[in-house]
Every structure is written in structure tokens, then in C-alpha cells.
Amino acid sequence: MPKRVIDCSGMIEIPFLGDTPRLHRCIATYMIPGYESATDDLLGSIVAHSGCQEYPIVVFCFDRSPSAEHVLQKYKVIPIQCNVISNDPVAYHSVLYSVAHVIDAEQFLCLGADTLVLDNIKPLFALLDVCAPEAIAAGKQVKDQEKGILDHMVFAGNQQALQALDLLIREQSSQHDDQSVSYWSTSEPFAQALSHMGKSVVLSPTCNAFFSDAAVKVGDRAGRLRASWQGETVKVLNFAGSGASESAEWRGHFARIPDPLVGVGEGNGYKDFVVALRGWIGRYGMSSMAWSFYGSADSQAASIRDPYTMPIFACLHYLIRANGCVRVLETGTARGVSAACLASAVAHRPQARVVTIDPHPRTERYFERWDLWAALPEPMQSCIETRQTRSLEGLKAALDAGEVYDAILLDSIHSEEYVWEEFQLAIQLVCAGGLILIHDAILKFGTVDRALARIEDAGYNVTRLWAAEGGVPEEDRLGLAVVEKRPRSSKIEINASSIDLLRKSL
């Protein structure tokens, strides 16, 4: 594989990134020397409004000036340092036509540096999922709406389509005598190639709304910059063709922010869990959730009031994640729903482990019928470890092996004595400040509440969740108790007798 490629204009040399992981989706743009603030503004709008924060951003740049370096570092993008190999003025936009030859990605969204993203653009990627693989999506030029000529400032396609676009533009350009910068600074080569390919998808004007269009209205509303076109919300605003003085009021909104919120951190494991769980319920029905946090008090049915966010599982997930847990132990596997939720909270961390204990064997037939874990992403699957034993024996074995956990979920037998015995072992297994979670804390058919009273008498604070007497119930009065391994400070009670004793001693 060559170490560099010349873009289809013949003016720009682009290096390969080397051995890099294949990307699913990426956003590509460029930064023109002396106009770094425009790219700064675009990138700021992407991280604020695009809904695509999980997708890498590739920026083609042509110098490493302090202002350029500042923008690259500010947004933590993937920089590709290009070289200008022509003595003529350069039309930098042409570098995007060749992006699929230097970036290994399944899908691309290319944005000109003179645009702003003002709303969710993830549907542009979703569009590619249902289009023909050779199709390219682009918006019309504002001055040629009737002719249907497509504009190059916002376009999207998969790798196959954009590689074909690049090759076709190269073939077309070789047939033109005039290869001046004016040819490459317009949509002409792009529009000609799409016309020849015959596989273009025309985007709504809201995905490439020109600021100079009289139908586009821009303003500050509800605390953010917004634009509309004929009453519809604009997703991408295009400043091309607008005078600097005319658009000055609306530029720099994002570039002037020194500390944007960028990146996705360690990902959204909870979303992956909910997607897997929703598909699993779709296959086996709500009855599959009978032995879960959303089960009924009689263990015969289940009900989820909010199927979209599933706030009880969200609470479990973020309790574990927000407390920094890496190793979690659970007693009572049942169908593995809570174990899957726990795994979603820790799988992104090195050495993550969810140990789940249950005396009932998870046979091959059982897996075929109930295996939710198979639908989870591989890191979540691989961090779950099953142990077939009764919970007390399993906890004792873990203690004898010197194991330490950041959190423990007790969810096996819901009786006072059993939970109390489990707790006494759990308190030795969990680290200082770690969490001990006890399910079915307010179950009317159990005696867990008595065990919680004994835990409080032993000096531990117990917080009971989903136990409010008012409000709207999210589940069938099962409840969850949260105990921190940090006993309360001992208190000295001072009464009249103790005061007399104190006086006599002085």
C-alpha cells in the first residue's frame, strides 16, 4: 500500500494514517491556513448539536501553526497533515473527495469548513444504512434548486461510493484542459461526477440550508443558535457565498468557547444493555422479566412503566458505574438480567469482572431459551463469570480465596436470617467505602426488612430506594437497599446521670 495519495485535484498530497482500526462512521472536514476560526466554529457546533459525539472527526490540515494546533487539541480530532504540491492557489475542499482512499471507514459524512451543525445529523448516517452501497447523499445548490445540481458542502456516502466518486472525478478532470483553482472551488466536478454515477440521493434543504437564502431565518432561541427554512429546523447551515460582513453576527458562536465538552469518555454501556434487553423481551415476552428488578411481588409476571429508559436498571447501572466499581459480585443469577446490567456498568474498565452465584445449573438448553448475555457486546459477555453453588457457600469460598469486590448485590433468598448471614460475609468481601445492594428490600412477602433493621443496629446506614409512600411506583414494591461499608461513628449519649458523674470526677 502506498504511503501517500494525491487528491483528485492533483494539488494536495495526503498521507495514509498507517495501521489504524477500521472505523464504523466518521465525520471529515478541513482547516484552511488563516481561517482556523471557521473550522473551530464548525467543530464546536458538531460536538454541541450533532448527536454524533461517538464518531471520530477527521480534519485535513495544511500547516501546524499555533492557531491550527490549538483547534486540533481543543476538539481532540484525528489530524491528517497534508502537503500542497502545486504552485497555484489551492481549492482545499477537493481533499474531501479523496477521503475514502486514506481513511478506512464504512461510512463518511463530509462537511465544508464554512458550515455549522445546528441539530442532530445522525439520521444522515442512518440514511446510508438503507441506500444502495454506491449511492451518495447531497443537498442542492441554493441557486440551482430548479436544475437540481447537487452541492459539495454537505455530502455522505459509504466507502465504496466515495472511492468511486474520487476515481470518476480523476477521470473527468483529466479530460479538461482548464484545471484552474476556480474549477475545484465550485461544485462542478462533484456535481458532474454524481450526474455520471446516477446514484445520488437528494437531501432535504434543511441539511444544507444556505445562509444567503431569504427563506432561512437565523437567531438565538431557547439558549442556542438555531435556524429554520420555511418553518423547518435547519440541521446544517451553509455560509458559502455569504459576505463576511453579512454573516459576521452569526459566526464565532462556538469558536469563542475555550472549553467545549468533547468525546464520549468510555462509552454508553447502558444503551447497549437496553438494546440487548429490549430485543430479548421482544423474543420471549414480558414474562421473561418475572425474576428481575421489574418482576411482580409474586414472581409470576413483570411490568415496565417506562420501556424507553427503564429507570430502575439505569439506577442500578449508574450506582455501580458512578461509584467507580470494577469487580462486582451478585448472589442469585436467575435469568441473568441484573448480571447483564452490572456488566454494562463495568465492562469498559480494565480487569472488569461480574461474578454471579446461583445453585441452579445454566445448562445448554437453558442458555438456548434464556441467554440474554449472548446479545450483549463481547466485552460485557466476557466479563461475566458464573459460579454454580449456594450463595453462602459461594461467598465463603470467595472470602477464603482472598477476593475483594467494589460492590455486592444480594438477591437470592429473601429472608431475614439468610440476608443477615449473606451480609456478614459480604461486608468482609467488599472494599472500604464499597456498596452492598440488597434487592427486595420492601417485599411484603419476605422478611428482608428485618435484616435491614439488624444491619442498621450493627452501625451501618441503610438507604431504601423506591420506598416512598407518595409518587408514582416504577415497580411492584420490591425495592432496593444501599449499604455503604463505612459504619457510623460511635455516639456518646450525655444524660443527667453522666453529667453528675462527670462533675464528681473533676
Pairing between strand 480-484 and 462-465? antiparallel
Q: Which amino acid is at 492?
A: I
Compare 365 and 84 and report the one with higher pLDDT.
84
Report DSSP state, residue 295.
B
The predicted pLDDT at position 468 comes to: 86
H-assigned helices in 286-414: 311-322, 337-346, 364-370, 378-382, 391-400
The predicted pLDDT at position 342 comes to: 98
Average pLDDT, the chain: 90
Q: Count Cβ atoms below 10 Å from residue 387 Cβ, excluding itself.
A: 17
Weakest mean pLDDT among 141-145, 299-303, 404-408 = 141-145
The string of pLDDT tens digits covering residues 118-153 is 999 999 999 999 999 999 999 887 555 455 578 899
pLDDT over 80 (residue 366): no
**What is the pLDDT confidence band of residue 502, given thresholds at 50, 70 and 90?**
very low
**Helix-helix angle 391-400:416-429, to 10 degrees:** 20
E-state strands within 236-383? 236-238, 327-331, 353-358
The predicted pLDDT at position 178 comes to: 58
Do residues 97 and 165 make contact, with C-beta atoms less than 8 angstroms apart?
A: yes
Cell triple for 132: 444502495
Cell triple for 101: 482512499
The predicted pLDDT at position 241 comes to: 79
pLDDT over 60 (residue 82): yes
Residue that has been written with the C-alpha cell 440488597 in this structure:
438
Phi-psi region of 252 (alpha: psi -120 to 50; beta: other; left: phi over 0): left
**Rg of the chain in Å (alpha carbons):** 30
Share of the chain above pLDDT 70, in %: 91
Q: How far apart are CA 194 and CA 214, in angstroms?
A: 27
Arithmetic mean of pLDDT, 352-363: 88
Positive or negative, the Cα torsion across 333, 334, 336, 337? negative
Q: How far apart are CA 437 and CA 465, in angstroms?
A: 10
Residue that has been written with the C-alpha cell 452465584 in this structure:
357
First CA to last CA across the chain, in angstroms? Answer: 91
Share of the chain above pLDDT 90, in %: 73
pLDDT over 70 (residue 506): no
Pairing between strand 115-117 and 136-140? unpaired
Weakest mean pLDDT among 160-164, 226-230, 464-468, 496-500 = 496-500
Pairing between strand 78-81 and 57-61? parallel
**What is the pLDDT confidence band of residue 301, given thresholds at 50, 70 and 90?**
very high
Q: How far apart are CA 61 and CA 228, in angstroms?
A: 31
Weakest mean pLDDT among 177-191, 313-327, 414-428, 478-492 = 177-191
What's the predicted TM-score (pTM) here? 0.86
Dihedral, 184, 185, 187, 188 alpha carbons, nearest 10: -40
Weakest mean pLDDT among 3-7, 86-90, 235-239, 441-445 = 86-90
Do residues 418 and 393 make contact, with C-beta atoms less than 8 angstroms apart?
A: no
The predicted pLDDT at position 386 comes to: 95
Do residues 108 and 134 make contact, with C-beta atoms less than 8 angstroms apart?
A: no
**What is the pLDDT confidence band of residue 499, given thresholds at 50, 70 and 90?**
very low
pLDDT over 90 (residue 451): yes
| Triad 130, 135, 140: Cα angle to 5° | 105
Cell triple for 47: 460536538
pLDDT over 60 (residue 334): yes
Do residues 151 and 140 make contact, with C-beta atoms less than 8 angstroms apart?
A: yes
Cell triple for 463: 438507604
pLDDT over 50 (residue 17): yes
Do residues 101 and 29 make contact, with C-beta atoms less than 8 angstroms apart?
A: no
Contacts of 447 (CB under 8 A, 6+ apart): 414, 415, 416
The predicted pLDDT at position 365 comes to: 45
H-assigned helices in 132-187: 159-173, 181-184
CA-closest candidate to residue 98, choices 12, 18, 24, 39: 12
The predicted pLDDT at position 471 comes to: 87
Cell triple for 313: 436498571
pLDDT over 80 (residue 44): yes
152 alpha carbon, distance to own chain's centre: 29
Q: How far apart are CA 143 and CA 86, in angstroms?
A: 31
Strand, helix or coil for residue 232: strand
Strand, helix or coil for residue 504: helix
**What is the pLDDT confidence band of residue 2, given thresholds at 50, 70 and 90?**
low
The predicted pLDDT at position 29 comes to: 98
Contacts of 502 (CB under 8 A, 6+ apart): none
The predicted pLDDT at position 367 comes to: 55
**What is the pLDDT confidence band of residue 491, given thresholds at 50, 70 and 90?**
very low
pLDDT over 50 (residue 58): yes
Do residues 354 and 342 make contact, with C-beta atoms less than 8 angstroms apart?
A: yes
Do residues 347 and 321 make contact, with C-beta atoms less than 8 angstroms apart?
A: no
Ordered DSSP codes for 383-436 = TEEEEES-HHHHHHHHHHTT--EEEEEE-S--SHHHHHHHHHHHHHHEEEEEEE
The string of pLDDT tens digits covering residues 417-436 is 999 999 999 999 999 999 99
Q: Counting runs of H as helices and runs of E as strands, what totals does the chain give?
A: 16, 23
The predicted pLDDT at position 99 comes to: 95
Compare 37 and 19 and report the one with higher pLDDT.
37
Cell triple for 211: 445562509
Bridge partners (DSSP) of residue 295 are: 302
3-state DSSP percent of the chain in helix, strand and coil, to 5:
35, 25, 40
Contacts of 503 (CB under 8 A, 6+ apart): none
Q: Which domains does the chain have, with CATH numbers?
A: 4-250 (3.90.550.10), 269-484 (3.40.50.150)
Weakest mean pLDDT among 283-287, 343-347, 367-371 = 367-371
Cell triple for 72: 486540533
pLDDT over 90 (residue 50): yes
The string of pLDDT tens digits covering residues 161-184 is 999 999 999 988 777 655 667 777
